[in-house]
Amino acid sequence: MAKNKKKKAKGGPEAASAEKAEKPQKEPKRPKVKKGAILGVAMTLLGAEDPPAARLDPATGTLLLSLPRGQKGERGPAGPPG
């Protein structure tokens, strides 16, 4: 069996730590998501005359909703007690 030997950094421990400091840090891993999975919901209010819309942002897994505001109306009579 062959033994694995680690190579020592040239220049002692100070040089080894300097090499580690120069390496760029990796981006944190994002969880793997199935295609079309919804991880969050965001909503935007539109004017009362605008049509509603929805779309999925596949990069973030966010469902984006655009909903029209309700039209202001008069109050109706109270319903029967409950």
Within-domain flag for 10:
no
What does pLDDT average to over the chain? 77
Task: Please count the structural domains in the chain.
Answer: 1
Within-domain flag for 2:
no
Coil/strand/helix, residue 20: helix
Within-domain flag for 17:
no
Q: Which domain holds residue 66?
A: 37-70
Residues 41-65: what's their mean pLDDT? 92
Within-domain flag for 11:
no
pLDDT tens for 12-35 read 555 555 555 567 778 777 766 666
Within-domain flag for 46:
yes
Within-domain flag for 54:
yes
Tell me the C-alpha distance between 14 and 11, whole Å: 7
Within-domain flag for 15:
no
Residues 57-78: what's their mean pLDDT? 86
- Structure tokens of 36? 């079309």
Coil/strand/helix, residue 29: coil
Of the two residues 18 and 55, the one the predictor is more confident about is 55
Work out the percent of the chain whose per-residue pLDDT is above 70.
66
Going by pLDDT thresholds of 50, 70 and 90, the confidence category of residue 55 is very high
Give pTM, 2 decimals. Answer: 0.45
Within-domain flag for 55:
yes
Coil/strand/helix, residue 21: helix
